[in-house]
Structure 1
Amino acid sequence: MSSTHTATYNEEEGALKLFLRGRPIILYAPSDVRDNFDISKVSPAPNRKLKLDWVYGYRGKDCRSNLYQLPTGEMAYFVAAAVVLYNPDEQCQRHYLGHTDDVKSLAIHPNKLLVATGQCAGHDRREALPHIRVWNSVSLATVAVIGAGEFTGSVNCISFSRADGGSLLTAIDDSPEKIISVWDWQKGEKGLRVTETRCSVDTVVAGEFHPLDRSQIITVGKGHVAFWTLDQNGTLYKRMGVFESREKPKYVTCIAFTQSGDVITGDSNGNIIVWSRGTNTISRFFKKVHDGSIFSLCTLKDGGLISGGGKDGRLVLFDSEMNRSGVEGFVEPHFGAIRVVSEGKGSQLLIGTTRNCILIGSFDLGFNPVVMGHVDELWGLAAHPNMAQFVTGGFDQLLQLWDSLSHSVVWSKDIGEHIQSCAFSPDGEYIAVGGISGRWMVFDTTSRELLAQLSDGQEPIQTIKFSPDGQFLAIGSRDNSVYIYQINGNSRRFARVGRCSGHSSYIKHIDWSEDSQVIRSNSGDYEILFWNASTCRQITSASSLRDVKWASQTCTLSFNTVGIWPEHADGTDVNSAARSNDSTILASGDDFGKVKLYSFPAAQPKSLCHLYGGHSSHVTAVEFLCDDTRVISTGGNDTSVMQWTVI
């Protein structure tokens, strides 16, 4: 017997024993490696690597002021832990990946070259402290890392000073205290904190330096607008905006400035208020410009102003004298409410929405989506068997088919069910989708038509898989069972063969054998069981299946995936795995937002890998596209889809 940290190998039986949370798991070595298997050998990392090629999605549902046009022609925005620089004309993206968890705020320096981005506190407080990173948008080099260990909550609002060319940076920490701080960000490696003070007991949604007065900062949020003055000694003084006899809004939601330096605010009542420069009093009041909240105000180069309404989806244009011009625009409700409006190239406007879409357009030509995304937890992912396409499904009930070459949505369908899992049929003509209520459906890939709808149990369908010959469909449920159906005719008729019961925890992953005869399944309590697909009976002698060829490798627990489990793993660390179609490399997704690439098989307990960040949440699924040139990964709570090129 030879052993490593959590595994031992029995040469006589050709069996590897792995311990997860103290539970022994027996895995049988294939005959061709059985006699020569050396458990102490280290499996090298593959000679291929991944490079982030494209990020699908945008974070508009709960963030503001996070969409800007750069002089390079690129738009800057963020999703998950990635900041995206996207040039829609040239159809290319670049990515700043310095953050360790969700990016929550973004500001552009007055020189239009530097960018500041603020992040939240990560799951691992040591690794992912909330902080601000200042970086160069051309070279992507990090210039400064500010406030690590100083902030306690997410950095929700940041702004560079504009009147002095951007030497200061203000930040609002979303801690219970709502601390506003000012930083001389160029002092030393970590910047110098000039001052900090409590900002408000209530939510603060925006904070900005005044463009003409170096010592002025304006913050807005629940029931307030505050005018701050930074004095010579570095102390912040606050004057609250006075609403006088006018109805005080529940929220003041956004800030802008006129060319002469007056402050403009929008609020939850749909009003726009102008505050005279240097005062805390109202000079003009525009009542009910929008039905519901105004989420964004955008001052144009010509001095005009655009207001974006949340609920009513309208864009209203004012001229430089703050007179309504009569010109209006509209965003279709299915894209979500308007969250951010900013100036693009020429007369173009960029619009970010609460349903995580970005639209480009103008008042004359209307607005079209250039970025689409999901808005809720994302678990379902499947690669098309013979085209450069993949499908995703989320708790937002959206099933979306994507083209990996044009980086666009082929179609998007609301199926009226929170989606947990999905799979393509072997010919790519059908998509099976598992919901969280035990309901599952089959759709035609081209027409999107619903072909079948059935239910098994009342728990989520954790995984769903067609057999390689297309004759069967296996459904792994959270009710601890695998249900098997025979497919008759043109995928419209499904006859239940039976139910495989024997697991004592929920089904996590399923793989079919290449001959469509056998299924293996992993469960939440680290069991690996085998089943005869045509009888639904458990095959109890696992050693007799050591040489079965498997059509896929999504089971995270198997002899060939021992190496993806880190030392002292607790069994929940690794969420997903996928083998390349040529069986040479293996990708995994873990609970810490990392995608890893291993050589396949990863049968050595010590297997080295390449590791990639970009997601901020648990990576719920990984898949190779049909030609192995790309890997797709989905982030659960970060709602993003990432496309990696294999190089």
Structure 2
Amino acid sequence: NNLTFTGTISGDVCVWKEHILIRIVAKAHTGPVFTMYTTLRDGLIVTGGKERPSKDGGALKLWDQELKRCRAFRLETGQIIDCVRSVCRGKGKILVGTRNAEIIEVGEKNAACNILVSGHMDGPIWGLGTHPSRDVFLSAAEDGTVRLWDIPEKISAGLFSFQNNLTFTGTISGDVCVWKEHILIRIVAKAHTGPVFTMYTTLRDGLIVTGGKERPSKDGGALKLWDQELKRCRAFRLETGQIIDCVRSVCRGKGKILVGTRNAEIIEVGEKNAACNILVSGHMDGLIWGLGTHPSRDVFLSAAEDGTVRLWDIPEKVSTGAYKRLVYEVPSGKQVTDQMVIDRTTWATWTSVLGDEVVGIWSRTTDKADVTCACVSHSGLNVVTGDDFGMVSTGAYKRLVYEVPSGKQVTDQMVIDRTTWATWTSVLGDEVVGIWSRTTDKADVTCACVSHSGLNVVTGDDFGMVKLFDFPCPEKFAKHKRFLGHAAHLTNIRFTSGDRYVISAGGDDRR
């Protein structure tokens, strides 16, 4: 039914119709949901998470197609808390990989548990896969190995594939090894000039797709399509504009190849015409910390730990560019590298805690992470003096006000109270007391932003919630509207031009 199910760290399961969240299965597990599995055969869904065994619940659950009814299984591991890291299902049995490197077989009808193997050396079992016809399965674990197991014999049996019992493995040197069961029969030397990171094949025609790290050339590229025996290939250029392309994942179907790159792009490549189309692009690593909206257009900038700043088109929901510097022309997105131009620029708003203009906000004992956000008022709106003020919220949950650019701290409370701020992104202050709920700890509300009209304030918290309040909200526990779309804490939030949209940046979910 074109539905997607995602698990969260809070134990909920979110049900999506395309990109729209339509339902939340609250507390599907009491702890985080780590893994999910389904099949086209019957559509039943297996979930695995972290949960204390009980009479009515456990870390392994089998759900109906719509995730409305479930059956819980106890794993009988003897642990106080069970932690399921991977699941796989077939032939009336469920295979479970645990945090303790055990692989357990669970019967769907009788719920009988049988510890099949405990052969990996270290850490959780992250991946499991069964063979469509034989009593064998694959496991991948934290110890860096992939093992093939013979279920009747309960021993590691080597490697297998669907085509003529051959298996193909890629190496860091760019070679591809061809195996007959567990015997190496051939090496395809320099299939790629760099490491081979991913491979994909189908039962339909047996053609093999490989992806690796390679410099684009007239005759070669990081994506290649091979025949069944890996003797002839066709190379595709990805047209990413990078000096070296790096393909991390591939998938193939309906005459097209989907490619996932190191730079978090998903590219569609036509097999016949080799046409490339970038479907999705985004930040590739780390948390998204910075957001900035355009004053009149439906575009915004985001900055993340991957070291890039990206320009996004809101209606199209796509990234239109990625940049490595901190200063750009808007709306063109053109990079500004002339330091004299940067130094002579007068900024309409300021929310950065870095720069020569705000050096004074850092004390001798302040750690880099202590000052988390800043805001500067317009001189025309300051009813006290003609000077600009900057307001910061520190890691110690104190609101401090400074003169800009001198950096001198303002301690006169009357001056602070009479200041009208041009923008507001602080979670502290008498104006936003109401954003803190009864059960909220100091660290729970992570970001806030007042609308351009000054009528509303939107917040993000550690539970993935976006909340909309009236502004100001000086009374405790103010009424609000709640919205859920993130699986983890939020790092930043902003209104767009005209207050038509709210842009939120996730932390661990990197959305």
Q: Partner of 2:213: helix, strand, or coil?
A: coil
Tell me by how many angstroms 1:238 deviates.
1.7
- Name which of 436, 446, 459 aligns with 2:332: 446
Matching of residue 476 in structure 1 with residue 401 in structure 2: no
Q: Partner of 2:311: helix, strand, or coil?
A: strand
Tell me by how many angstroms 1:532 deviates.
4.4
- Structure 1 counterpart of 2:282, one-letter code: G
1:190-249 C-alpha deviation (Å, 9 max, x unpaired) = x76454532411576643100122x22123566755332334xxxx702242xxxxxxxx
Matching of residue 295 in structure 1 with residue 208 in structure 2: no
Matching of residue 328 in structure 1 with residue 235 in structure 2: yes
Q: Partner of 1:356: helix, strand, or coil?
A: coil
- Name which of 80, 90, 93 aligns with 1:168: 93
Matching of residue 396 in structure 1 with residue 306 in structure 2: yes
Contact 2:210/2:250 (CA < 8 Å) preserved in 1? yes
The residue that corresponds to 1:639 in the other structure is 510
The residue that corresponds to 1:605 in the other structure is 476
Closer/same/farther in 2, CA of residues 264 and 501 from structure 1, 3 Å limit: closer
The residue that corresponds to 2:149 in the other structure is 228
- Structure 2 counterpart of 1:476, one-letter code: V
Q: Partner of 1:405: helix, strand, or coil?
A: coil
Closer/same/farther in 2, CA of residues 623 and 349 from structure 1, 3 Å limit: same
Tell me by how many angstroms 1:380 deviates.
1.0
Tell me by how many angstroms 1:407 deviates.
0.6
The residue that corresponds to 1:200 in the other structure is 120
Matching of residue 111 in structure 1 with residue 41 in structure 2: yes
Closer/same/farther in 2, CA of residues 639 and 133 from structure 1, 3 Å limit: farther
Contact 2:222/2:246 (CA < 8 Å) preserved in 1? no
Contact 1:158/1:172 (CA < 8 Å) preserved in 2? yes
1:163-205 C-alpha deviation (Å, 9 max, x unpaired) = x4xx4343433x3x32223344x559xx764545324115766
1:91-148 C-alpha deviation (Å, 9 max, x unpaired) = x6667865899876564513385565666x69xxxxxx996676778x5767567779
Tell me by how many angstroms 1:411 deviates.
1.4
Contact 1:443/1:451 (CA < 8 Å) preserved in 2? no
Separation of aligned partners in 2, 1:384 and 1:272: 49
Separation of aligned partners in 2, 1:140 and 1:336: 40
What is the identity percentage for the equivalent residue pairs of Structure 1 and Structure 2?
A: 21
Matching of residue 307 in structure 1 with residue 209 in structure 2: yes
Separation of aligned partners in 2, 1:135 and 1:369: 35
TM-score normalised over the length of structure 2: 0.75
- Structure 2 counterpart of 1:338, one-letter code: V
Contact 2:174/2:195 (CA < 8 Å) preserved in 1? yes
- Name which of 402, 412, 421 aligns with 1:550: 421
Closer/same/farther in 2, CA of residues 638 and 108 from structure 1, 3 Å limit: same
Closer/same/farther in 2, CA of residues 258 and 270 from structure 1, 3 Å limit: farther
Separation of aligned partners in 2, 1:96 and 1:352: 29
Separation of aligned partners in 2, 1:150 and 1:450: 57
Q: Partner of 1:550: helix, strand, or coil?
A: coil
Contact 1:182/1:195 (CA < 8 Å) preserved in 2? yes
- Structure 2 counterpart of 1:511, one-letter code: C
- Structure 2 counterpart of 1:227, one-letter code: L
Closer/same/farther in 2, CA of residues 483 and 617 from structure 1, 3 Å limit: farther
Closer/same/farther in 2, CA of residues 270 and 503 from structure 1, 3 Å limit: closer
Q: Partner of 1:563: helix, strand, or coil?
A: helix
Tell me the C-alpha RMSD between the 2 structures: 4.4
Matching of residue 342 in structure 1 with residue 251 in structure 2: yes
Give the number of aligned pairs: 473
Closer/same/farther in 2, CA of residues 355 and 473 from structure 1, 3 Å limit: closer
Closer/same/farther in 2, CA of residues 223 and 580 from structure 1, 3 Å limit: closer
Tell me by how many angstroms 1:317 deviates.
2.6
Give the strand-richer structure, 1 or 2: 1
1:447-491 C-alpha deviation (Å, 9 max, x unpaired) = 51215549x9xxxxxxxx986xx3x757524xxxx8648xxxxxx
Q: Partner of 1:561: helix, strand, or coil?
A: helix
The residue that corresponds to 1:237 in the other structure is 154
Matches within 5 A, 1:367-378: 367-374=276-283, 375-378=285-288
The residue that corresponds to 2:105 in the other structure is 182
Matches within 5 A, 1:131-146: none
Contact 1:444/1:450 (CA < 8 Å) preserved in 2? no
Contact 1:97/1:613 (CA < 8 Å) preserved in 2? no
State which drifts further: 279-288 or 351-360.
Answer: 279-288
- Name which of 405, 409, 413 aligns with 2:315: 405
- Structure 2 counterpart of 1:384, one-letter code: H
Matching of residue 257 in structure 1 with residue 161 in structure 2: yes
1:48-94 C-alpha deviation (Å, 9 max, x unpaired) = xxxxxxxxxxxxxxxxxxxxxxx95x99999999989796xxxx666
Tell me by how many angstroms 1:280 deviates.
4.6
Separation of aligned partners in 1, 2:241 and 2:14: 26
Matching of residue 385 in structure 1 with residue 292 in structure 2: no
The residue that corresponds to 1:590 in the other structure is 461
Contact 1:76/1:86 (CA < 8 Å) preserved in 2? no
Q: Partner of 1:368: helix, strand, or coil?
A: strand
Matching of residue 507 in structure 1 with residue 409 in structure 2: no
Tell me by how many angstroms 1:557 deviates.
0.4
Contact 2:103/2:117 (CA < 8 Å) preserved in 1? yes
Separation of aligned partners in 1, 2:381 and 2:14: 43
Matching of residue 159 in structure 1 with residue 88 in structure 2: yes
Contact 2:375/2:392 (CA < 8 Å) preserved in 1? yes
Contact 1:219/1:225 (CA < 8 Å) preserved in 2? yes
- Structure 1 counterpart of 2:154, one-letter code: Y
In structure 1, the gaps of 5 or more residues are 1-70, 123-128, 242-254, 416-432, 434-440, 457-464, 486-497, 641-647
- Structure 1 counterpart of 2:316, one-letter code: S
Contact 2:197/2:249 (CA < 8 Å) preserved in 1? yes
Matching of residue 319 in structure 1 with residue 219 in structure 2: no
Closer/same/farther in 2, CA of residues 622 and 314 from structure 1, 3 Å limit: same
Contact 1:79/1:638 (CA < 8 Å) preserved in 2? no
1:309-349 C-alpha deviation (Å, 9 max, x unpaired) = 332363333334x24333223445849632222223x1112
Separation of aligned partners in 1, 2:494 and 2:478: 20
Tell me by how many angstroms 1:402 deviates.
0.2
- Structure 2 counterpart of 1:170, one-letter code: L
- Structure 1 counterpart of 2:449, one-letter code: A
Closer/same/farther in 2, CA of residues 218 and 590 from structure 1, 3 Å limit: same
Contact 1:308/1:315 (CA < 8 Å) preserved in 2? yes
In structure 2, the gaps of 5 or more residues are 52-56, 215-220, 383-388
Matching of residue 218 in structure 1 with residue 128 in structure 2: no
- Structure 1 counterpart of 2:208, one-letter code: I
Separation of aligned partners in 1, 2:9 and 2:313: 21
TM-score normalised over the length of structure 1: 0.61
The residue that corresponds to 1:422 in the other structure is none
Separation of aligned partners in 1, 2:258 and 2:165: 24
Closer/same/farther in 2, CA of residues 395 and 531 from structure 1, 3 Å limit: same
Tell me by how many angstroms 1:383 deviates.
1.6
